[in-house]
Amino acid sequence: MRKSALILFAAFSGLMQAQEIKQIPTVNVSGEGKIKVAPDQASISISVETKGAKAIDVKKENDTKIDAVLKYIKKMNIAKEDFQTQRVSMYPNYDYEKKKTSYIATQTVIVLLKDLNKYDALMDGLVDLGINRIDNVEFKSSKIDQLQSDARKLAIKDAKAKAEDFVSVLNQKVGKALTISDNSQINYPPRPMYEMKTMAMADGGGGAPRETLATGEIELVVNVSVSFVLE
């Protein structure tokens, strides 16, 4: 009997607390923090693809080219932790018209280039050594963690400013925050905003240096929802 009474008392107390919380006047607002920054790094995905009639010959040719590629990357003073083999594959390809089977071997390497001034020299050298696919170039910032922190703070400031605007005509004040929800995208770092690679070569008569990389800016956006107490 005593146990049942305690359970009823606890349930009644919880209900009363819930009602008290519901009675607290609040204002619910959203805030946005946005920061743009020029990237200082690039993640480059490159591949060597070879084809031939014999699997062993195709693999040997592919391995030879990749060996030269990896040695050149090291020669460019890129740290060993900044490049990695991402994928290795070889598969048969049947030509129904010629009724012959050939083989295709592919190796993909990801390079984190921390000095964008090396981009042209790196890519020109890699193409000369046999890479025949540039799968992706993604721009990044080495300060991404700090930039995200700054964007979060801006989002909270924006939310508080909105709340103060709402209550300014009500003779009330914005109190402490009850809840904060991060509504930002979860894929960090955000996809960079940049123009596609161009190949604007200088003419043979001598013109402006070629520009092969338009880095643009990375845009970081943080969105929050905040519930403030009204005083």
Q: Is 90 in contact with 104 (CB distance < 8 Å)?
A: yes
Q: pLDDT tier at 106 (50, 70, 90 boundaries)?
A: very high
pTM score above 0.85: no
Q: Residue 21 region, left (φ>0) first, then alpha (ψ -120 to 50), else beta? A: alpha
Continuous segment of H or E residues that includes residue 146:
helix 144-167
Q: What are phi and psi of 91, to 5 degrees?
A: -150, 155
Pick the CATH number of 41-140 from 3.40.50.300, 3.30.70.2970, 3.40.720.10, 1.10.390.10: 3.30.70.2970
The radius of gyration of the chain's CA atoms, rounded to the nearest angstrom, is: 29
Q: What percent of the chain has pLDDT over 70?
A: 79
Pick the CATH number of 24-38+143-230 from 1.10.1760.20, 3.40.50.300, 3.10.110.10, 3.30.110.170: 3.30.110.170
CA distances from 109 to 13, 85, 209 (A): 62, 4, 29
> Which pLDDT belongs to residue 210?
62
